[in-house]
Structure 1
């Protein structure tokens, strides 16, 4: 396709255009997208992430080797306190960072504020115990953009970058 058929920098438009309606066709029983090549001219319209690997290396003070990270498991069902314990144990066990699973938001068994507090406590304790900078990527996904901003601001206020 020509690049001018797509909105510049819009991943949503690109995926909807290529795979959006085809999955709704009754004649299609199964379909798998195995490869997609995007013209370089179109790729250049994307801004990319707010920061890159260099900034992450500076934040974690890790150079000359790959990062070692993981997703907290089990992803669902832990209390905030136990979630923070898993973060602490993973980071003191050698991980550079942990991240929230995309399914962790603010469920009744663990609300987001509780998770953020215990995560950051685990990060801070692990940093003190190891003498290394450690990190945790907190999932701020919420029902509204206002709630996401609230969560991001709160995370920043308790020491997340």
Structure 2
């Protein structure tokens, strides 16, 4: 009984762990590090593998939590998480097949739109403190590391899916 609860909670704990892992260097190094967007990648991978587990309310919670820890404009990340969920569930013809290279291209496009919107909102609403080269490197790192995180989530999803069926 307890093991079934832990198995069902694992993806949520996994995402929260990556949110903390991504946010921790900000407090220790005063935003000087260039790091990939692991949380964005992990949530996108989980949505692709098991979209029934992550309902829109959970994605809203994860996005708000991520934005609060990132210390920026709150609400942009949950919007993009919900857009990713909608595109994944409704098959709007964005890219039809679910092969890794198609999922990778779709992820890259969404991530680029995410950073363009952050750039524009930061330019229009805040004192322009957006460092373009760091964020560009971060986007490139995230796109390059996407297959690694995607395969990790795929293996975990299959493993915990089998345990959940027992």
Q: Give TM class, smaller chain.
A: under 0.3
Q: Give the TM-score, by structure 2 length.
A: 0.26
Q: Give the TM-score, by structure 1 length.
A: 0.27
Name which one, 1 or 2, has greater alpha-carbon Rg.
1
Q: Which has the higher contact order (CA 8 A, sep 6+)?
A: 2
